[in-house]
Amino acid sequence: EAQVTQNPRYLITVTGKKLTVTCSQNMNHEYMSWYRQDPGLGLRQIYYSMNVEVTDKGDVPEGYKVSRKEKRNFPLILESPSPNQTSLYFCASSLIGNNEQFFGPGTRLTVL
Amino acid sequence: EDQVTQSPEALRLQEGESSSLNCSYTVSGLRGLFWYRQDPGKGPEFLFTLYSAGEEKEKERLKATLTKKESFLHITAPKPEDSATYLCAVQGTGGTSYGKLTFGQGTILTVHP
């Protein structure tokens, strides 16, 4: 089954404790992206990647890191999480030139 | 900077009562405008891509249209299963990379039986 998976689905952590949210797709998509969704603010793009070793900032990259060492994986790294990063995070992927993005199920992160 | 504004924020309809959702956008050049549907607790699901003014796309009870300043998502004779949040997004050309997307805040649609 074609899908985007994210892990973990739920995470409660404390300020300053480094964490990684994984994202994996099995559709051989070149493009992958991370978003956060907050009430009243909608979906905002954090980082995206056009292919392996190619990443670029979205609208809200501060406090986040990403890497794209393999085509199927695009982890989101919070090196020193803060409470304002409490949010619902989505990973998405698509073929280049095809704007139909497939979204993962989301990761709900709470930073205390 | 690309901007997307959706209205209304919430819309309640009776089953069978047709209506439209609006997406107003500002971009220096439009690569594409996208509509997604999001059910509670799930990731957005792709509906349509529109590329140029005058273009229309249809899928079941949904029809998306595009002008140079806005897009409409028309819902004809909606059913309760059409209840969801509908998201609009744009991809611009002016000084932005191909991969950058800007979403609106969404319209929460509730269809009562």
Best CA proximity match to A29, nearest among A6, A7, A48, A45 = A48
Encode chain B (113 residues) as per-residue pLDDT tens digits.
889 999 999 999 999 999 999 999 998 888 899 999 999 999 999 999 999 999 999 999 999 999 999 999 999 999 999 999 999 999 887 655 678 889 999 999 999 99
A44 in contact with B, Cβ within 8 Å: yes
CA–CA gap between residue B78 and residue B110 (Å, rounded) = 10
Give the one of B41, B49, B103 whose C-beta lies nearest to A43's C-beta. B103
Give the one of B32, B46, B99 whose C-beta lies nearest to A56's C-beta. B99
B40 in contact with A, Cβ within 8 Å: no
Pairing, β A102-103 against β A87-94: antiparallel
Note the Cα B4 to chain centre separation in Å.
Answer: 10
**Secondary structure letter of residue A85 according to DSSP:** G
Best CA proximity match to A35, nearest among A110, A104, A99 = A104
- Could you tell me the two tokens for A97? 């030139």
Residues B99, A31: C-beta atoms closer than 8 Å: yes
- Which chain A positions have a beta carbon within 8 Å of B23's beta carbon? none
- Could you tell me the two tokens for A7? 């892990």
